[in-house]
Homo-oligomer: A and B are copies of this chain.
Amino acid sequence: MKNKMITSRDDDFAKWYTDVVRAAHLADYSSVKGCIVIETNGYAIWEKMQEILDKKFKELGHVNCQLPLLIPESLLRKESELVEGFAPEVAWVSEGGDKKLDERLCIRPTSETMFSDYYSTHVKSYRDLPLLYNQWCNVLRWEKETRPFLRSREFLWQEGHTIHATEEEAMKETNQMVEVYHWFHNEILAIPSICGKKTDKEKFAGAEYTLTNEALMYNGVALQAGTSHYFGQKFSKAYDIKFTNQENKEEYVYQTSWGTSTRMIGGLIMVHSDDYGLVLPPRIAPRQVVIIPIGNCQEVVDLANQYEQILNQNHITTYIDDTNKSIGFKFAEAEVNGIPVRIEIGERDLKEGEITFTRRDTREKIKATLDIDVVDYVSHLLDVIQHDMYERAKKRRDALTYEAHNLKQMEEILNTQPGFIHAMWCTDKACEEKIKEIRGCKSRCILEGAKPIDDKCVCCGKKADKLVVWGIQY
């Protein structure tokens, strides 16, 4: 029986999304327009994301630090492209401690300026390089239209900022980090993502180029996931980040930045969840298994406790729901919260030597005999779920991936069932603008080195050799 709090996904996708967010206690609106409360279930997913990414970043030599929330206006204005890109969407602090400030301070929308300012006084020699810094923090962008997780005025993210002695090394870092996000999406979030390069129009303000991961939601709308930017010497020249190289000459550093955010919680919902609520891939689920004892005979209680203990000992996050609620309520709650595996232990089943496992993703019930090795059994089941969820998402993505050779085809696709559209592009910005007129469709990324599917631009028909993925975006 479907959850009554949740609108059907096929009836109204937008409403379904916010219903799932609310029903699974992931986030709620707050008294501050455009800002959300990340509720306990949502925050637990973010903690898990942080744990996994932070470990990976550190394995690759990155270290964490924390820079100020506020940026003096004069500092922000040193790099003109960044200012132009972000100025319309920042919040300004103009009073502090009951006094008007001499200079406005902006709440960070991103921290390239602050890192550049810091680096400029901390680097002297090539021996100091590279510096591979990252910070986990909140940022603010004064968005007009907001949606929980996907677009919110304040959000949580990590921003890596690195500086290097050579262009080659910095480019390698840019590549490496987009690959880390790719791994994270595919292996952990079970969200198939495409890596590519942003067009100049869509790249990050101030970047020489931006590498991106693009994912497709269930409804065929694209979500820009982790991005990685190469800045070359743009910021180092604007902020004077110089070092003495091995030839004892002064040189500007080469810089990168890369980030991902709580927006990916929105991605998880939009790719995997259903009319019964949240569905989480086991590797990102804060709680992987719920045990629901049915009745309270000693045998049932003992087995529940035994399973809980041995599963947790083997790093499978497990809890028993032994609250006073009805069994039906417990089932629905585990379901709406997206617990990947539910184990029911009942007196009658035990007598027949059986227990029941239920997969959240397929809602399939599986009977098992009591002689199983529960750790092996559940580990395997979680792996299967993780694998199947990825495959299902990929199948959906592939089914919504099209080719277009002219604008008419593009329009048809976008007006029928949007998705990723592969089409050739001549590199003219005017064509991007024109395509955007069709339901706001934008270039998602250039598939560099990919085999052309045509020799003409999908828009103007002129010679084209860039294969681009297009789509409507969140």
Q: A30-B114, A95-B94, A144-B97 are in contact. Are A40 and B69 (CB under 8 A)?
A: no
| Residue of A90, A96, A114, A118 ringed by the most chain B CB atoms within 10 A | A96
Bound Cα distance from A92 to B94, whole angstroms: 6
Of A132-140, A159-167, A300-308, A436-444, the one touching chain B: A132-140
Report yes or no: B63 in contact with A38, Cβ–Cβ below 8 A: no
Return the contact of A65 from the options B32, B37, B118, B153 (Cβ within 8 A): B37
**A343 at interface by CB-CB < 8 Å:** no
Q: How far is the CA of A409 from the CA of B24 in the complex (A)?
A: 62
Q: Which residue of B lies closest to A143 (CB)?
A: B97
Report whether A31 and B72 are in contact in the complex, using a CB–CB cutoff of 8 Å. Answer: yes
If A70-B32, A71-B32, A72-B32 touch, whether A65 touches B39 (CB-CB below 8 Å) is yes
Q: Kindly list chain B residues whose C-beta atoms are within 8 Å of the C-beta of A75.
A: 31
Are B97's CB and A32's CB within 8 A?
A: no
Taking a contact as CB atoms closer than 8 A, the residue among B68, B95, B107 that contacts A36 in the complex is: B68
Q: Choose among B47, B64, B68 the residue that contacts A43 (Cβ–Cβ < 8 A).
A: B64
Residues in A64-108 with C-beta less than 8 Å from chain B: 64-72, 75, 87-98, 104-105, 107
Tell me which residues across on chain B come within 8 A of A122, comparing CB atoms: 28
Q: Do residues B138 and A37 form an inter-chain contact, with CB atoms below 8 A?
A: no
Question: Bound state CA distance, A87 and B72, in angstroms?
Answer: 22
Query: Chain B residues with Cβ under 8 A from A472's Cβ?
Result: none
Q: Are A64 and B93 interface neighbours, CB within 8 A? A: no
Bound Cα distance from A39 to B67, whole angstroms: 8
In the complex where A87-B98, A96-B91, A137-B138 touch, is A117 in contact with B31 (Cβ < 8 A)?
yes
**Interface flag for A142 (CB, 8 Å):** yes
Please give, as numbers and ranges, the residues of chain B lying within 8 Å of A428 by CB-CB distance. Answer: none
Instruction: Find chain B residues with CB under 8 A from A37 CB.
Output: 65-68, 118
In the complex, A44 has a CB within 8 A of chain B:
yes
Query: Is A154 in contact with chain B by the CB < 8 A criterion?
Result: yes
**Cβ-defined contact, A93 with B92, below 8 A:** yes
How close is A222's CB to chain B, nearest CB, in angstroms?
Answer: 24
Choose from B65, B72, B118, B142 the contact partner of A97 (Cβ within 8 Å).
B142
Cβ-closest chain B residue relative to A141: B97
- Name the residue on B nearest A70 (C-beta): B32
**Nearest B residue (CB) for A324:** B127
Known contacts A37-B65, A64-B43; A91/B95 CB under 8 A: yes
Q: How far is the CA of A87 from the CA of B97 in the complex (A)?
A: 7
Q: Is A35 located at the chain interface by the 8 A CB criterion?
A: yes
- Is the C-beta of A194 less than 8 angstroms from some C-beta in chain B? no
CA–CA, A70 and B33, complex, Å:
10
**At the interface, yes or no: A355 with Cβ under 8 Å from chain B?**
no
Q: Are A66 and B92 in contact (CB under 8 A)?
A: no
Query: Is A156 on the interface with B (CB-CB < 8 A)?
Result: yes
Select A96's contact among B72, B96, B142, beta carbons within 8 Å: B142
User: CA of A122 to CA of B31 in the docked complex: distance in angstroms?
Assistant: 13
| Residue contacts A-B, CB under 8 angstroms, 21 given | A28-B118, A28-B121, A28-B122, A30-B68, A30-B114, A35-B69, A38-B65, A38-B67, A40-B64, A40-B65, A42-B65, A66-B156, A88-B97, A91-B95, A91-B96, A91-B97, A91-B105, A92-B93, A94-B94, A95-B104, A96-B153
Starting from the known contacts A30-B68, A91-B96, 14 additional A-B residue pairs (CB-CB under 8 Å) come to A28-B118, A28-B121, A31-B75, A32-B70, A32-B72, A37-B118, A40-B64, A42-B65, A44-B64, A70-B154, A89-B97, A91-B95, A107-B107, A138-B138
